[in-house]
Amino acid sequence: MARRRGNPLALAVLALLFERPMHPYEMASTMRARRKEESIKLNYGSLYSVVDGLTKHGLIEAVGVLREGRRPERTVYELTEPGRLELFDWLSELVSTPAREYTSFEAGLSLLPVLLPEEAVRLLEERVLRLEQQLHMDEALWEVTAKQGLPRLLLIEWEYKRMLRRAELDWVRGLVDELREGAFEGLDYWRIWHERCSAGLEPPGLEAAGYGAANSAGSTGGDDPEAPAT
Amino acid sequence: MARRRGNPLALAVLALLFERPMHPYEMASTMRARRKEESIKLNYGSLYSVVDGLTKHGLIEAVGVLREGRRPERTVYELTEPGRLELFDWLSELVSTPAREYTSFEAGLSLLPVLLPEEAVRLLEERVLRLEQQLHMDEALWEVTAKQGLPRLLLIEWEYKRMLRRAELDWVRGLVDELREGAFEGLDYWRIWHERCSAGLEPPGLEAAGYGAANSAGSTGGDDPEAPAT
DNA sequence: CAGCGATCACCCGTCCCCGAGTATTCGCCG
DNA sequence: CGGCGAATACTCGGGGACGGGTGATCGCTG
């Protein structure tokens, strides 16, 4: 009871069994055929352990074992009533409630000062190129798939993903421009900070670049980013 | 050697030690003070295991144990030369190369047909509300923080995140509008499909709503004009 | 100075994820 | 018909993440 909602793959399993009973391998093939592996991480190891977990929690159950020809056995599962409820509840949560998530680019950005400004620009430009490539591939693939006659509904997550990529692309382009033209405030501070760290010295406080009174006058009272703190 | 680049928290550790030697607990406090825990998942369990791993791989090393007053011991670590290289290399990769990542909203969208159209609209509207709230909170927090005098550079990941949220918000609003006004193609197909699944029947193929024959027939296998390049 | 909460600093058991491996069978080409 | 590669269907062991402890100390209050 009160199971931890971890791997979205488990949700996908519930959703597939909502359509009809299946055996695990068929779930995987179906997801592949529908291109759902692009939005839900799928690999066999996880799939089988996830199916086990769901079984243990009574959300699905094995309804039999088939043996077609002399192929290996295939255990077929179906959705239980608790499973159906969990499916709707979980899916509702995913759709209605934005979850705090961490992307690696975000992580990279948040550590950007570690690189030299020139280096950062170079890498961001590389990212722009890669994003453009991916967008083109996405669009090509999407056209092919769409022409197979699939309704928008079944590819809606692709629209979302493409829209996000385009937004990111624009943003990164803008950032690169600002950096290139020196329009980015604090470039001087960045360089100084970096130099001192590389030399093994204490990094400078914020005053060094004219950002005065950061932590000197506790105006906002609360905590204090960039505390020298010793 | 050839370690697996997993947890970005390890990268954060390297980046912090690039500034100066620290003990793990101090790394955590520093990340908190700089609001980096918003972009890099941090918890103590992971932190200590990550530090262990880095030590084992020779990327950082313990330089001593302090005992201030009679407080518990604090093991202080510093960056090694291989560690410095790994830091730049890894960070470069994160910045320059978009990584295939999975968000839970994407997962939710890709399973949307499981819900009824009306239900989906309701949940998406809830999402819009929540996103608006988060945006407002973000902006408030950002203003406070920015007014402490921090340069843009140190908060650049916030700009990125806010921009993504705004983009998502717009997109979801658009989707809701289309659905509300029935401008979304395939609404009828959606409803029929759902009804039949709920009734425990075989779901209809795509012809049911005028979408030409795709893969609805028995062939679950060898489709796809897809040449995925990983 | 006794008591109490907050902070400091770390560790550990559990769960879960994942990639690589295995064994069988089918299709196909010469 | 024999051999090779692709597909089928699943298994397993290592490893990493994560949350919830565990002391010990500091500071404050009455």
Spell out which residues of chain A touch residue B46, defining contact as CB-CB under 8 Å: none
Give percent of chain B above pLDDT 70: 83
In this structure, the answer to whether residues B76 and B146 fall within a common structural domain is no
Domain count, chain A: 2
Residue A215 lies in a domain: no
Which of B181, B183, B202 has the alpha carbon at shortest distance from B193? B202
Q: Examine the pLDDT at A226 and tell me if it is beyond 80.
A: no
Percent of chain A with pLDDT over 90: 64
Residue A13 lies in a domain: yes
Contacts of A199 in chain B (CB under 8 A): none
**A212 contact residues in B (CB cutoff 8 A):** 149
User: Whole-angstrom distance between the N-terminal and C-terminal Cα of chain B?
Assistant: 24
Q: Nearest-CA residue of chain B relative to A116?
A: B88
pLDDT tens digit sequence for A84-120: 999 999 999 999 999 999 999 999 999 999 999 999 9
Which residue has the closest alpha carbon to C26 C1'?
Answer: A71
Which residue has better confidence, B2 or B70?
Answer: B2
**Cα dihedral B20→B21→B26→B27 (10° resolution):** 70
Q: What is the CATH number of the domain that holds B63?
A: 1.10.10.10
Residue with CA nearest to D19's C1' atom: B45
pLDDT surpasses 80 at B202: no
pLDDT above 50 (res B225): no
Domain match, B43 and B83 both:
yes
| A20 with B189: Cβ contact below 8 A | no
Chain A CB contacts of B156 under 8 Å are 109-110, 112, 175
Q: Which nucleotide is nearest to A52 (CA to C1')?
A: C16
Answer yes or no: do A92 and A48 share one domain.
Answer: yes
Minimal C-alpha gap between B144 and chain A (Å): 8
What would the pLDDT profile of B159-169 be if each residue is shown by its tens digit?
999 999 999 99
Q: Please determine, for residue B209, whether its predicted confidence score (pLDDT) is greater than 60.
A: no
A56 & A29 share domain: yes
CB nearest to A149's CB, from B165, B190, B214: B214
User: Do A18 and A66 reside in the same domain of the chain?
Assistant: yes
Give the model's pLDDT for residue A218: 34
The answer on pLDDT for B219 being more than 60 is no
* Range of the structural domain that residue B140 is part of: 104-180
Lowest-confidence pick of B51-55, B66-70, B192-196: B66-70
The whole-number pLDDT of residue A70 equals 59
Residue of higher predicted confidence among B182 and B204? B182
Distance CA A223, CA B41 (A): 20
- Of B73, B96, B119, the position where a domain reaches its end is B96
Residue A62 and residue A126 in one domain:
no
Q: Nearest Cβ partner of B104 from A18, A99, A226?
A: A99
Range with the lowest mean pLDDT among A196-210, B9-23, B48-62, B189-203?
A196-210
Residues of A in contact with B130 (CB under 8 A): 96-98
Chain A residues touching residue B15 (CB < 8 angstroms): 111, 114
CB contact under 8 A, B149 and A206: yes
Q: B142-157, pLDDT tens digit by residue?
A: 887 766 777 889 899 9
Q: A214-223, B59-68, B82-91 — which is least confidently predicted?
A: A214-223
Q: What is the pLDDT of residue A208?
A: 43
- Coil, strand or helix: which one is A73? coil
pLDDT category at A10 given cuts 50, 70, 90 is: very high
Assigned domain for A224 exists = no
Mutate to test the interface with B, among A110, A124, A191, A195 (most CBs of B within 10 A): A110
Q: Comparing A105-109, A119-123, A205-209, which segment has the lowest mean pLDDT?
A: A205-209
Instruction: Give the β-pairing of A74-79 and B60-66.
Output: unpaired
How far is A131 from A134, CA to CA, in rounded Å?
5
Any domain includes A193: no
Shared domain check, B145 and B125: yes
pLDDT at residue number A142: 81
Interface contact flag, B153 A190, Cβ < 8 Å: yes
- B208 within a domain of the structure (yes/no): no
Contacts of B123 (CB under 8 A, 6+ apart): A92, A95, A96, B115
Residue B129 in this model has a pLDDT that exceeds 80: yes
- The footprint of strand D (CB < 7 Å) covers A 23-26, 29, 44-45, 48-49, 68, 71-75; B 4, 6-7, 41, 43-46, 49-50, 53, 69-72, 220-222
Q: Can you give the distance from the CA of residue B27 to the C1' of nucleotide C3 in angstroms?
A: 32
- Verify that B75 and B116 share a domain, yes or no: no
Q: What DSSP assignment string belongs to A97-128?
A: S------HHHHHHHTGGGS-HHHHHHHHHHHH
Element (H, E) at B176: helix B156-180
Which of B33, B65, B96 is where one domain is finished?
B96
Q: pLDDT, tens digit, for every residue of A45-99?
A: 999 999 999 999 999 999 988 766 556 678 999 999 999 999 999 999 999 999 9
Chain D bases near protein Cβ (<7 Å): 7-13, 16-21, 23-26
Per-residue pLDDT tens digits for A174-202: 999 999 998 888 888 889 889 888 887 77
Which pLDDT belongs to residue B142? 81
Q: Measured in angstroms, what separates residue B26's CA from nucleotide D28's C1'?
A: 25
Mean pLDDT, chain B, rounded, equals 85
Position B69 pLDDT exceeds 80? no
Are residues B145 and B69 part of one domain? Answer: no
Nearest residue, CB atoms, B149 vs list A102, A164, A213: A213
Give the domain-ending residue among A146, A164, A180.
A180
Asked whether residue A50 is assigned to any structural domain, the reply reads yes
pLDDT at residue A49, as a whole number: 95
> A216 in a domain, yes or no?
no
What is the model's pLDDT at position A204?
Answer: 67
A123 and A86 part of one domain: no
Q: What is the mean pLDDT of chain A?
A: 85
Mean pLDDT value of segment B7-30: 95
Question: Does B111 lie in the same domain as B86?
Answer: no
CA distances from A22 to A67, A91, A185 (A): 13, 20, 58
Residue A187 lies in a domain: no
**Mean pLDDT across the stretch B57-74?**
78
Question: CA A222 to CA B208: how far, in whole Å?
Answer: 61
pLDDT tens-digit readout, B26-55: 999 999 999 999 999 999 999 999 999 999
User: Which residue places its CA closest to the C1' of nucleotide D21?
Assistant: B45
Confidence class of residue A216 from pLDDT cuts 50, 70 and 90?
very low
| Predicted pLDDT of residue A143 | 82
Distance to chain B for A56, nearest Cα, Å: 23
Residue A71's pLDDT is: 62
Which tokens sit at B97? 């190369």
Q: What is the mean pLDDT of residues B78-96?
A: 96
Asked if the model's pLDDT at residue A222 lies above 70, the reply is: no
**pLDDT band at A214; cut points 50, 70, 90:** very low
Regarding whether A123 and A76 lie in a shared domain, the answer is: no
